[in-house]
Chains A and B, each alone.
Chain A
């Protein structure tokens, strides 16, 4: 048990220690884009910074977090030591080496290709190899989640797998499938060029392969937060989960529907016809279902807790909830931000409406609202929940933790709402600098400055988060620490249908859907006219 804790803690510390500089870079980027003075003031540095910020926030931070959280769940929810802990450390080492390998060339200005790679843009091979290594490290974790899941099922025949373990396994399987898109792009498209075996890239195929990863990765980020929604929050609120079955269905729907939808990131791309774009647009609507189920179930669970605590009337239960509990507060705030974030997403994935906001700041604002507002705020609460269990030292102050979560909530809101509006006014994304003497850009100046103020609040929230974590790590060891408890549902299931206790059929449906939705869009590149384009190398060495 003790060793399992060290493994979890190492992953979580690494995740947050990477998160800290990435937040700092993000804040500087906001300054660069604003009319306010910015240190260094160099567009090339901006793109290097965006690459580092994006690579950390999209890959490194959530991967390390999911790995650490997954190991903690495997030990605490299954109530048995972690199987294959050595492989866990191997995965950790691989991912850590990969992170360093990827970030050094970025810092040297030799891989400013942004985290989405954007071929035929081409950076240093070390960057791509590093990220591939991070993903290989995460595959060790996927293997361990599957092994521990299977072992528990074998040892407890007929019993329902605890919801938290069921969900984190769904998360691992989802990541395993969806990461293959980016892996194929790097292996078969980008690396051959960086090694000089080829000088051209089929940008359309590369973008299509990346889209396989690009949407489902959002659900890979989101599922750990949803696990806290379903299994940690009702417990912290002093109530019960409204429905265990609803949770299982939610995570299964995420697994099945989040991959064959990535083409909605390519609505404005010329390499695909309208037909498959429309089909994937429809399938994307299916991904809204599990989130709607979750909003219903979690609100119901909150109401149960509120009424158990003596809340009366139509809305009285809301006031009766323990809002000073960081987990309850974080989930409440996360649900609030999930609303506008989710509806913004519905606009992005609607084939016709997408044209209005494609390539504008609206999109960047949207994914910052979803990732920061709905996901990371819960990561904080999970950290507050896990740290005492992993270190044996109590949290120094729940009050400071609450203040931190409120700061984050307002910071994200103030950052992203004006950002959305600037996007609607036509502000393009991926721009390092704007000429605010231009009347068109000048109209967005006030909104951008508002965003910077929000960024300031976000930054202060993160500093406070680290203050709480570090102080807690030096607090005296508590004599007894209650173990991690996962919420019971109102009707705890004695058995569940095998369909809701494993992933066999769902993997088959998932693969069938991916084949139907992506078979032709990817397959066409093998028989259509060759569309290779010369690469745009960032440095002359790569071009040679």
Chain B
């Protein structure tokens, strides 16, 4: 039992026994997990050993069994926030963007602040938001009057440029996504509109507007809505609800707008249009 001289360690069997016990445990665990149990995962015919091991490693082994006829693909947007897209969309040149933006002033206002209630203000919007919408207009996944033709006449680099220009203008309050305390913004609030904005309504599957559109929450590609034109917000919610606007990836807006009532849509649009994070 002594460890004073090295030779006794050679005769001490415990090191060997320990390794043997641990190895046996591992072998049994692997045998069960990779050879025996996966074979009987399916209620039909047991897998072969090879398929069982593949299954245990997490590979799809069903082959064509699940490749049934798929409905035709309808793509809501061609923008995915990959490395390349984000780099492209944020690499705009403000100066050349200002030049392109002379085409926008007729509708979107002199400095990106629209005076027409159904046209959105663009000043201060996140460049990623503007980039995505321009690309959706180009590809036809979002339809709106002259925007498709305008977007088709521009290159992706020009999208980035004009986005950088509008983002740099003072206008809509910047949605920085800083989650500083905003008291009274849970279900305990008695105002149903404030509840919808900050807490949502899980009974109807409605997530809180603010968790993506601010104030407080930020999500890549989601526009800040504070001080946006009231009628524009209302019409977009209606369009999502009726399925005439479909460029939201994974359908969050179509799902939510579809279960909002008419009066809720109006109240939300009014609340956001009159909201101002920087003071009354």
Contacts and interface: CB of A to CB of B under 8 A. Distances in A.
B19 interface: yes
B220 interface: yes
Interface stretch (A212-220, A274-282, A371-379, A392-400): A274-282
Contacts of B81: 199, 534
A28 to B, nearest CB: 12
Contacts of B87: 199
B183 A41 contact: yes
Given A273-B55, A433-B186, A44 B216 contact: yes
Interface in A280-326: 282-283, 286
A277 B202 CA distance: 33
Contacts of B186: 32, 38, 41-43, 432-433
A534 B82 contact: yes
A479 interface: no
Contact of B181 (A38, A45, A501, A535): A45
A516 B4 contact: no
Nearest to B53: A275
Contact of A499 (B12, B26, B32): B12
Contacts of A435: 187, 199, 201-203
B174 interface: yes
A116 interface: no
Interface in B154-180: 174-180
Interface residues of B, number: 64
Contacts of B3: 158, 495-498, 501
B208 to A, nearest CB: 8
Contacts of B15: 499, 505
A41 B25 contact: no
Nearest to B224: A540
B83 A278 contact: no
Interface string B205-237: 000100000001111100000000000000000
Nearest to B175: A540
Given A200-B82, A274-B55, A109 B180 contact: yes
Contacts of B19: 509
A520 interface: yes
A185 B192 CA distance: 42
A67 interface: no
Interface string B22-50: 10011011101110011001000000000
Given A495-B1, A497-B12, A540-B177, A505 B18 contact: yes
Interface string B124-161: 00101000000000000000000000000000000000
Given A44-B217, A45-B179, A509-B18, A272 B202 contact: no
Interface in A32-53: 32, 37-45, 47-48
Contacts of A47: 179
B90 A495 contact: no
A112 interface: yes
B64 interface: no
A433 B189 CA distance: 12
Contacts of A187: none
B198 interface: yes
Contacts of B95: none
Nearest to B3: A498
A278 B29 contact: yes
Contacts, number: 181
B14 interface: yes
A33 B101 CA distance: 48
B70 interface: no
Given A282-B25, A516-B26, A539-B176, A40 B183 contact: yes
B71 to A, nearest CB: 24
A438 B203 contact: yes
Given A42-B183, A278-B29, A540 B58 contact: no
A544 B168 CA distance: 13
A248 interface: no
Given A275-B34, A532-B83, A108 B178 contact: yes
B187 A436 contact: yes
B74 interface: no
B90 A544 contact: yes
Contacts of A45: 179, 181-182
A459 B152 CA distance: 63
A155 interface: no
Contacts of A108: 178, 180
A426 to B, nearest CB: 13
Which of B2, B26, B184, B203 has the most chain A CB atoms closer than 10 A to its own CB? B26
Given A438-B203, A499-B15, A198 B83 contact: yes
Contact of B83 (A38, A199, A496, A538): A199
B259 interface: no
Contacts of B29: 278-279, 282-283
A47 B179 CA distance: 9
Interface string A248-287: 0000000010000000000000011111111100110010
B255 interface: no
Given A274-B33, A275-B34, A499-B18, A538 B218 contact: yes
Contacts of A438: 202-203
Which of A45, A277, A543 has the most chain B CB atoms closer than 10 A to its own CB? A543
B203 A109 contact: no
Nearest to B14: A499
A436 B199 CA distance: 13
B25 to A, nearest CB: 7
Nearest to A506: B18
26 contacts: A37-B188, A41-B188, A44-B182, A44-B216, A108-B178, A109-B180, A110-B179, A158-B2, A271-B58, A274-B33, A276-B56, A278-B29, A278-B32, A283-B29, A437-B187, A498-B3, A498-B12, A499-B15, A505-B18, A513-B22, A534-B81, A534-B86, A535-B220, A536-B220, A538-B179, A539-B218
Task: In the A-B complex, list the 9 residue pairs whose CB atoms are closest, starting with the nearest.
Answer: A273-B58, A275-B56, A498-B3, A278-B33, A109-B179, A44-B179, A534-B81, A282-B29, A539-B177
Interface of A: 32, 37-45, 47-48, 108-110, 112, 157-158, 198-200, 256, 271-279, 282-283, 286, 432-438, 495-499, 501, 505, 509, 513, 516, 520, 524, 532, 534-541, 543-544
Interface of B: 1-4, 9, 12, 14-15, 18-19, 22, 25-26, 28-30, 32-34, 37-38, 41, 53, 55-59, 80-83, 86-87, 90, 126, 128, 174-189, 198-199, 201-203, 208, 216-220
Given A275-B58, A499-B12, A499-B14, 20 more contacts: A38-B188, A41-B188, A44-B179, A44-B181, A44-B182, A45-B181, A109-B179, A109-B181, A110-B178, A199-B86, A283-B29, A286-B25, A433-B186, A437-B203, A499-B18, A509-B18, A513-B22, A536-B220, A538-B218, A543-B86
